[in-house]
Structure 1
Amino acid sequence: MESKGHVNPGDPEVWFRRFTIGLDDLVRHVWVVRWSIPAGETRPQRVLAYPAGNIVLMPGHCRLYGPDPSVDVRELSGEGWAVGLLLRPAALPLLTSTPPDRLVASSEPITPPPGALDLDDEAALTESLATWLADAAGRIDSSGRLLNDVCAEAENDASLTRVDQLAEHFDLSTRTLERLVARGLGVSPKWLLDCRRLQEAATVLFTAPGSDLAGLSADLGYADQAHFTRHYRRVLGETPDATRRAGRAARRSH
């Protein structure tokens, strides 16, 4: 299954799985991670998520996160677990009264599901999470479904490089498209398109560190390598060379 999230090639002490819970207009998928790291050691986990909301549950922790295009590095140690829900774009306004733009690269507490989560029983975990979010899923309207479709197209159609192309695809004016995306996610359509290109680049640079940077920047539609590098650092929070180094270091550790 293709992932826009974890880009680590896999650590033997970290177990990761994904599944859906049947609320497809609200939740893209659920991921569960468990780890058991030898004493005194850590395992960096690089997460690169396509702009969307997330809910993360850990012992004593349940938070709603807004979209964030940057590379997030979490150092895992000891033993632990986390359950995450990658939300559809329509979800944020249904789960909080906080304006979406205030949640960009930020988070807030959210009331957790009742009862304990059984991580060993996927069917029971699915039922718990689906029941918890059923009310929000039932309130998704035609505007929310349109936002989901717009963001899916921005993510999956590499031929779309300009906002006016995305708007035309859905027979919308550019201004209407901008309002739709801002109201649901707190970001701009251009941000969605930029993140798709740069996150594709980040995945290539991490998994194939020897890739030619000039060729990659040209393939992604940048005028030159310098422009690509500046834009990459501004959006993802690190340079292309830093991503390459992380990829090489991950391979040396396995």
Structure 2
Amino acid sequence: MPDAPAAGDGPRRDTRGIVDASGLLSRVRFRRHAAAAPLHPYVEHYWLIDWDLPEPYATHVVPHPSVNIVFQRYATEALETAFGEVAGVGLSLFTQKLEGRGRVCGVQFRPGGFRPFAPDRPLSDLTGHRLPLDDVFPHTVKQAAEAVTAVLSPADEHARVAALDAFLLNLAPTRDPQADLAATLVDRIRGDRSIRRVDAFAREEGMSVRALQRLFSAYVGVGPKWIILRYRIHEALERAESERDVDWADLAATLGYADQAHLVRDFTTTVGVPPTAYAPH
């Protein structure tokens, strides 16, 4: 797996994948933190959210091709609960209603980075599912329960980060060359707009299309075609979030679409509204 960015670079600061990012960030405290150095090959970043809302708010996210471990605590007039779960790659728009007071501490793994923590489980088994920690790590039931308290209880967010580090390090992941390869290939797709066709990409990497698909299914959880499309939509969504007058025809060409209509179709299917109607400002 390629080395993660240097610690001094810190976690990424973009809002890719968050629908109406400005609306969310005006209502919650959202931060990202780097994991401990031994976890950099596996973990993209930690993400922490705290809120205390007078009115409910629904947040929407276009998921990344990443598995997340999520520790959550909610407190409303009717319910107070705390739990941890493993969230496989989400295939559709994820919506979460936030109300009352709450806290979420999440681990976003690098694509391919979760497999070393569950080496006997193809990542496609988790895709589209959210499972309790002890379903995925049955040998650590006690530690998982303790981690929920250790991660969610501290007022100091650095203590929460330390608890996340401790939980993951206790799982003792081992580097896997196939996971490394999957991560490298997904990073290439994320950073190279010229990668538009799976067959051409596989050929450039000296692989058959079938071998590439099998690798991504087992180590990422979704196929290369899905990832190419998802990163296109992430970029289109961020442009819609940050610019008032997006040239959609030009953006469609930049992202490798045959025409604007194809971008509009994919954006609408994924986000729920056409790009011209998406106006979070």
- Please, what TM-score do these two structures have when normalized by structure 2? 0.76
Displacement of 1:138? 2.8
Structure 1 157/137 Cα, relative in aligned 2: closer, same or farther at 3 Å? Answer: farther
Contact persistence 2:69–2:84 (CA under 8 A): yes
**Does the alignment pair 1:46 with 2:60?**
yes
Secondary structure at the counterpart of residue 78 of structure 1: strand
1:95-149 Cα shifts (integer Å, max 9, x gaps) = 4555422322221111436242254334432332122112545322111111111
**Does the alignment pair 1:110 with 2:133?**
yes
* Alignment-derived partner of residue 274 in structure 2: 240
Residue correspondences, number: 244
Displacement of 1:5? 4.1
Structure 2: unaligned runs, 5 residues or longer: 1-12, 74-81, 135-143
Equivalent AA in structure 1 for residue 108 of structure 2: L
More displaced 10-residue stretch of structure 1: 69-78 or 173-182 = 69-78
Secondary structure at the counterpart of residue 58 of structure 2: strand
Determine which of 121, 124, 128 is the counterpart of 1:101.
124
Contact persistence 1:69–1:195 (CA under 8 A): no
* Alignment-derived partner of residue 158 in structure 1: 193
* Alignment-derived partner of residue 231 in structure 1: 266
* Alignment-derived partner of residue 20 in structure 1: 34
Distance in 1 separating the partners of 2:262 and 2:35: 41
Displacement of 1:243? 6.2
Contact persistence 1:68–1:105 (CA under 8 A): yes
* Alignment-derived partner of residue 32 in structure 1: 48
Structure 1 11/129 Cα, relative in aligned 2: closer, same or farther at 3 Å? Answer: closer
Distance in 2 separating the partners of 1:6 and 1:102: 25
**Does the alignment pair 1:76 with 2:98?**
yes
Contact persistence 1:56–1:62 (CA under 8 A): yes
Distance in 2 separating the partners of 1:243 and 1:20: 35
Contact persistence 2:267–2:275 (CA under 8 A): no
Contact persistence 1:209–1:244 (CA under 8 A): no
Distance in 1 separating the partners of 2:113 and 2:89: 12
More displaced 10-residue stretch of structure 1: 26-35 or 11-20 = 11-20
Equivalent AA in structure 1 for residue 63 of structure 2: A
Distance in 2 separating the partners of 1:24 and 1:137: 13
Distance in 2 separating the partners of 1:65 and 1:178: 21
Contact persistence 1:202–1:240 (CA under 8 A): no
**Does the alignment pair 1:87 with 2:109?**
yes
Contact persistence 1:94–1:136 (CA under 8 A): no
Structure 1 45/20 Cα, relative in aligned 2: closer, same or farther at 3 Å? Answer: same
Structure 1 209/110 Cα, relative in aligned 2: closer, same or farther at 3 Å? Answer: farther
More displaced 10-residue stretch of structure 1: 202-211 or 174-183 = 202-211
**Does the alignment pair 1:206 with 2:241?**
yes
Displacement of 1:159? 1.8
Displacement of 1:154? 1.1
Q: CA RMSD in A?
A: 2.5
Distance in 1 separating the partners of 2:35 and 2:277: 33
Distance in 2 separating the partners of 1:243 and 1:180: 37
More displaced 10-residue stretch of structure 1: 169-178 or 26-35 = 169-178
